[in-house]
């Protein structure tokens, strides 16, 4: 009974995440740079602009997908006008080179109520292929779409030969708790797949700190839940998030005092150029692995959620992606 009450009290109880992998075939040579997520995000933006507008919605889904997915702003947002994007990218590895005829893949995740945008996303992929990605805008064609869950790496084909089936591997808090029961909770290893850029007290954090990671994770989760909580449930009050932020952050700080069991990370310097701003912005961070002794199912539950959400700066471009091992 006590376990049920704990699950019900969790602020992620009603949130969801959907993860898709797009298998593609290069029609021309494709060259990606140090931050391939930026190329994927940019190509998706231009494909949506090319296909849709607020006056040309998909029947039954009267949304502006460009604003909903890529250009969200809110004057009332507590952390500034920009709100978290309703998606994130799981890009190919940096400096990927793909010859014509070779296959490659990348992922896109949708959060909460953004699952309504799935038809726009799927229709944008062939257009992305026509417009091309990377240096020289190499073109590609979409072969199939799989859905996956990072909780246990299950995957399932949901679109092939233009036939689409309903997704059913959505990440929910119930499924996170089911996975938690099958994991060891005394130790945890995190593998940082894309640059993790974290800031604490106005300064960059150059090495993994569990307390900092947990605070940024809960801030990220709060922002996503407040903007994309699936109806009809309301987002938890901010006092709930504040309490969780303080409690989890303090637990992480105490674990940090004991030190890492293992840490092999390196810093990657990457610049992202913005035409709108006319300048480059640093988006680098650390990659590698870190292991802690945690002895905490609560911390592990948050870290399992984290696999879906990304953490840190530039999540929409693919940064802050990691796996729990």
- Given a cut of 80, is residue 322 above it in pLDDT? yes
- What distance, in Å, lies between the first and last C-alpha atoms of the chain? 29
Mean pLDDT, all residues of the chain: 88
Find the angle CA(161)-CA(164)-CA(165) to the nearest 5 degrees.
135
Q: What is the pLDDT of residue 77?
A: 47
- Given a cut of 70, is residue 168 above it in pLDDT? yes
- Cβ–Cβ < 8 Å for 206, 267: yes
Q: What pLDDT, in 10s, does the model give residues 88-101?
A: 999 999 999 999 99
- Given a cut of 80, is residue 73 above it in pLDDT? no
26-53 as b/e, with b when 16 or more CB fall inside 10 Å?
Answer: bebebbbeebbbbbbbbbbbbbbbebbe
Q: What is the pLDDT of residue 50?
A: 85
Which is higher by pLDDT, 70 or 128? 128
The answer to whether domain 18-164 has CATH 3.30.70.1890 is yes
Most confident of 62-76, 78-92, 96-110: 96-110
Q: What is the pLDDT of residue 176?
A: 97
The answer to whether domain 2-15+173-324 has CATH 1.10.287.130 is no
User: Which pLDDT band holds residue 242 (cuts at 50, 70, 90)?
Assistant: very high
Which is higher by pLDDT, 84 or 294? 294
Q: Is the dihedral of CA 34, 38, 43, 46 positive or negative?
A: negative
- Given a cut of 60, is residue 213 above it in pLDDT? yes
**How far is 250 from 240, CA to CA, in rounded Å?**
15
Q: What pLDDT, in 10s, does the model give residues 117-159?
A: 898 899 999 999 999 999 999 999 999 999 999 999 999 999 9
User: Which pLDDT band holds residue 219 (cuts at 50, 70, 90)?
Assistant: very high
Kindly state the percentage of the chain with pLDDT values over 90.
Answer: 70
**How far is 164 from 243, CA to CA, in rounded Å?**
42
Over residues 71-100, mean pLDDT: 75
Q: Where are the domains of the chain?
A: 2-15+173-324, 18-164
User: Which pLDDT band holds residue 273 (cuts at 50, 70, 90)?
Assistant: low
**How far is 250 from 215, CA to CA, in rounded Å?**
9
Task: Answer yes or no: same fold for 2-15+173-324 and 18-164.
Answer: yes
Q: What pLDDT, in 10s, does the model give residues 11-42?
A: 999 999 999 999 999 999 999 998 899 899 98
279: exposed, middle or buried (Cβ count in 10 Å: 0-12, 13-18, 19+): exposed
Residue closest to 125 by CA, chosen among 154, 84, 160: 160
**How far is 64 from 88, CA to CA, in rounded Å?**
18
Q: Is the dihedral of CA 46, 310, 202, 246 positive or negative?
A: positive
**How far is 204 from 177, CA to CA, in rounded Å?**
32
Which is higher by pLDDT, 97 or 162? 97
């Amino acid at each position: 009974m006590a376990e049920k009450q704990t699950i019900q009290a969790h602020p992620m109880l009603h949130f969801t995440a959907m993860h898709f992998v797009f298998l593609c075939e290069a029609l021309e040579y494709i060259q990606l740079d140090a931050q391939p997520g930026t190329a994927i995000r940019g190509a998706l933006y231009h494909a949506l602009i090319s296909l849709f507008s607020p006056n040309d919605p998909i029947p039954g889904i009267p949304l502006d997908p460009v604003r909903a997915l890529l250009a969200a702003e809110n004057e009332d947002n507590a952390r500034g006008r920009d709100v978290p994007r309703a998606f994130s990218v799981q890009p190919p590895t940096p400096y990927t080179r793909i010859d014509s005829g070779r296959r490659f893949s990348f992922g896109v995740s949708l959060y909460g109520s953004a699952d309504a945008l799935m038809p726009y996303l799927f229709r944008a992929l062939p257009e992305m292929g026509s417009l091309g990605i990377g240096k020289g805008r190499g073109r590609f064609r979409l072969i199939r779409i799989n859905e996956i869950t990072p909780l246990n790496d299950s995957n399932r084909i949901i679109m092939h030969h233009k036939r689409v089936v309903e997704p059913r591997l959505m990440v929910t808090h119930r499924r996170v708790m089911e996975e938690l029961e099958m994991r060891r909770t005394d130790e945890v290893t995190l593998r940082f797949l894309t640059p993790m850029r974290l800031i604490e007290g106005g300064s960059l954090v150059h090495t993994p700190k569990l307390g900092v990671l947990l605070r940024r994770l809960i801030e990220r989760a709060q922002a996503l839940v407040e903007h994309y909580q699936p109806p009809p449930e309301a987002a938890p009050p901010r006092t709930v998030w504040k309490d969780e932020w303080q409690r989890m952050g303090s637990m992480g700080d105490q674990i940090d005092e004991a030190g890492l069991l293992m840490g092999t990370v390196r810093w990657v310097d990457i610049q992202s150029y913005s035409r709108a701003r006319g300048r480059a912005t640093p988006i680098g961070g650390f990659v590698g692995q870190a292991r802690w002794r945690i002895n905490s199912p609560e911390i592990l539950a948050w870290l399992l959620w984290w696999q879906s959400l990304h953490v840190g700066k530039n999540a929409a471009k693919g940064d802050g992606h990691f796996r729990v091992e």
